[in-house]
């Protein structure tokens, strides 16, 4: 049943025949008291059945070629090494944090500077890498030990922020076994130029415990890494842990454009970079980006992070999130893209045992391809789509998630091809609408339409707790060659939502006649005819 090949139609037909022969009806069971008036739910179901029609279309009208995936072969450690320009030696200086544009986010209003005054016991300062290439080992040699020092061979403790200037190139490589960023000293890394972390470890460090600055409270400062607009950030074979807290741009590893006013002032393009073969744990967010272009997150492990594993956000695009393992996220989702994260690829990842969903597409994120992921044993859904139209889910495996295999809310033209949803707690595929007007959602910032439409082709829906499909009040549903076996309920295979009263007709068309099924509201058909 979990074989990667699609089950042949003969098995689906045989399973249906056996269910019918044993009296396990495909149609809805009759009411216990036929003469009784229907309750509100029954009346709604009957009304739905009256207002939707089931028709057929040529199967080829729903066929689609497999998505063309990006070539990942060029994203290697060797390619990162080739990007490092060491021809010009940079300089290392210690300057006051005040009046530095790159640090305004942390020393501006709301008495933010007090954090650093308290930690540094004076006017806040930072280490700056400027005008060329500097390696960490060289940086250490140029600074007093009260700012950064070697505590063991190859192990360094930084007690000030480290800032890579606009024309700076900063590298931490295998000569550094571990760079420890002091929580007590208020250390962090801000990149405004080019940053390379290769074959090393960067750890938030609590000096009082002589150990990592493990998470305790959301608002408690922990060291972090932030790369601003116009920057390049590359991490390869690096371990990062115990960083980030609930403060803007301080989430752990963040790649972010400047604020609109600062962007206009500084004229920076969108940040970019690669993170390859690295490990992130005990981070507030394992990865966060904002208005970022063409960033690659490949072959990493994100485990036991606090809020999210991987979280691209506002108006990022052209991202590649591929071949990552994400598990054990404590508060929310494994992988989420949210608020106009468009035209990106989430492919060949493994996302499991996360507190909420394995993968989420959220808040008007469109044009994304979610393909060939293995998403299992998450504590809510496998894949969740919220208010995000025009996305393609292809060849994903969704196993044993506690709620739905795939959940689609307020999203149209969602194409579900060759996915397998097996043994999930509720429905294999669940599509529904919801009015969010009376919630805390900012409708102006995050508009939505309470509409859902699905195209469901190929794949398998089997052994899910409440049935293979439930679709409520759709604009349209189109289905073809979907295998549905091994129902867990004694009533056999059963559909809910608008499919419930028409399931015998739908199954006959799909299974016996092997036709494409189109389910449309009557009013939509009338409009099309007009």
Looking only at the bridges linking them, the beta strands covering 91-96 and 125-130 are antiparallel
Tell me the whole-structure pTM to 2 decimals.
0.89
DSSP string computed for 347-380 = ES-EEES-SS-SEEEESS--S-EEES-EEES-SS
* Residue 133 pLDDT class (50, 70, 90 cuts): very high
| Most confident of the ranges 10-19, 98-107, 509-518 | 98-107
Helices 40-51 and 522-529 pack at an angle, to 10 degrees, of 20
Instruction: State yes or no: pLDDT of 530 exceeds 90.
Output: no
Q: What average pLDDT does the segment 199-228 reach?
A: 98
Looking only at the bridges linking them, the beta strands covering 325-327 and 132-135 are unpaired
* Residue 222 pLDDT class (50, 70, 90 cuts): very high
- pLDDT value for 444: 77
Q: What average pLDDT does the segment 223-242 reach?
A: 98
The Cα 362–Cα 368 span in angstroms is 11
The Cα 393–Cα 225 span in angstroms is 32
Mean pLDDT, all residues of the chain: 88
Which is more confidently placed, 3 or 307? 307
Q: Are 331 and 306 in contact (CB under 8 A)?
A: yes
Q: Which fold has domain 89-230+237-264?
A: Pectate Lyase C-like (2.160.20)
* Residue 334 pLDDT class (50, 70, 90 cuts): very high
355 is catalytic: no
Instruction: State yes or no: pLDDT of 150 exceeds 90.
Output: yes
Instruction: State yes or no: pLDDT of 503 exceeds 60.
Output: yes
Instruction: State yes or no: pLDDT of 399 exceeds 80.
Output: yes
* Residue 492 pLDDT class (50, 70, 90 cuts): low
- pLDDT value for 112: 84
* Residue 489 pLDDT class (50, 70, 90 cuts): low
84-96 pLDDT tens trace: 999 999 999 999 9
Instruction: State yes or no: pLDDT of 13 exceeds 80.
Output: no
- pLDDT value for 67: 97
**Listed residue (267, 386, 260, 365) closest to 318, CA to CA:** 365
Looking only at the bridges linking them, the beta strands covering 239-241 and 279-281 are parallel
Cβ neighbour number for residue 44 with a 10 Å cutoff: 13
Instruction: State yes or no: pLDDT of 128 exceeds 50.
Output: yes
Catalytic choice (313, 317, 333, 432): 313
Instruction: State yes or no: pLDDT of 142 exceeds 60.
Output: yes
Question: Among the listed ranges 114-118, 173-177, 228-232, 510-514, which one has the minimum average pLDDT value?
Answer: 510-514
Q: What kind of architecture, by CATH, is found in domain 10-27+42-66+350-530?
A: 3 Solenoid (2.160)
Instruction: State yes or no: pLDDT of 494 exceeds 70.
Output: no
Instruction: State yes or no: pLDDT of 527 exceeds 60.
Output: no
In the chain, CATH 2.160.20.10 sits at: 10-27+42-66+350-530, 89-230+237-264
Structure tokens at 292: 């970022």
């Amino acid at each position: 049943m979990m074989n990667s090949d699609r089950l042949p139609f003969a098995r689906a037909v045989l399973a249906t025949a056996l269910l019918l022969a044993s009296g396990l009806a495909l149609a809805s069971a009759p009411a216990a008291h036929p003469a009784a008036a229907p309750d509100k739910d029954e009346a709604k179901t009957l009304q739905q059945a009256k207002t939707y029609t089931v028709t057929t279309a040529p199967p080829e009208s729903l066929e689609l070629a497999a998505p063309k995936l990006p070539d990942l072969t060029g994203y290697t450690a060797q390619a990162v090494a080739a990007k490092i320009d060491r021809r010009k030696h940079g300089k290392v200086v210690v300057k006051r944090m005040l009046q530095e544009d790159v640090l305004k986010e942390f020393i501006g209003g709301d008495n933010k500077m007090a954090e650093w005054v308290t930690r540094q016991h004076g006017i806040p300062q930072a280490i700056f890498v400027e005008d060329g290439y500097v390696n960490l080992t060289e940086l250490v040699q140029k600074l007093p030990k009260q700012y950064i020092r070697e505590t063991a061979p190859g192990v360094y403790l930084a007690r000030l922020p480290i800032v890579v200037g606009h024309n700076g190139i900063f590298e931490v490589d295998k000569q550094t076994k571990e760079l420890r960023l002091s929580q007590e000293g208020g250390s962090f890394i801000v990149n405004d130029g080019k940053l390379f972390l290769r074959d090393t470890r960067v750890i938030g460090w609590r000096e009082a415990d002589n150990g990592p600055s493990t998470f305790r409270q959301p608002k408690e400062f922990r060291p972090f890494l932030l790369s601003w607009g116009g920057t390049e950030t590359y991490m390869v074979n690096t371990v990062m842990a115990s960083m980030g807290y609930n403060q803007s741009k301080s989430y752990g590893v963040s790649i972010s454009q400047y604020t609109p006013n600062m962007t206009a002032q500084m004229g920076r393009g969108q940040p970019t970079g690669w993170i390859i073969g690295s490990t992130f744990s005990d981070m507030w967010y394992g990865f966060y980006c904002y208005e970022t272009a063409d960033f690659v997150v490949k072959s990493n492990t994100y485990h036991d992070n606090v809020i999210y594993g991987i979280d691209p956000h506002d108006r990022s695009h052209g991202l590649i999130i591929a071949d990552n393992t994400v598990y054990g996220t404590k508060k929310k989702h494994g992988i989420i893209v949210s608020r106009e994260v468009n035209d990106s690829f989430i492919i060949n990842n493994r996302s499991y045992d996360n507190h909420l969903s394995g993968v989420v597409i959220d808040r008007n994120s469109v044009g994304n391809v979610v393909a060939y992921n293995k998403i299992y044993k998450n504590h809510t859904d496998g894949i969740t789509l919220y208010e995000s139209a025009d996305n393609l889910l292809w060849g994903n495996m969704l196993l044993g998630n506690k709620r739905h295999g795939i959940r689609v809310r307020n999203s149209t033209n969602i194409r579900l091809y060759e996915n397998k949803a097996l043994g999930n707690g509720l429905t294999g595929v669940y599509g529904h609408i919801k009015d969010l007007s009376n919630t805390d959602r900012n409708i102006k910032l995050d508009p939505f339409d309470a509409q859902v439409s699905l195209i469901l082709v190929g794949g398998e829906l089997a052994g899910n707790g409440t049935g293979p499909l439930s679709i409520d009040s759709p604009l349209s549903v189109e289905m073809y060659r979907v295998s549905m076996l091994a129902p867990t309920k004694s009533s056999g295979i059963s559909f809910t939502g608008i499919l419930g009263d028409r399931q015998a007709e739908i199954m006959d068309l799909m299974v016996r006649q092997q036709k494409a099924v189109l389910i449309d509201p009557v009013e939509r058909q009338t409009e099309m005819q007009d």
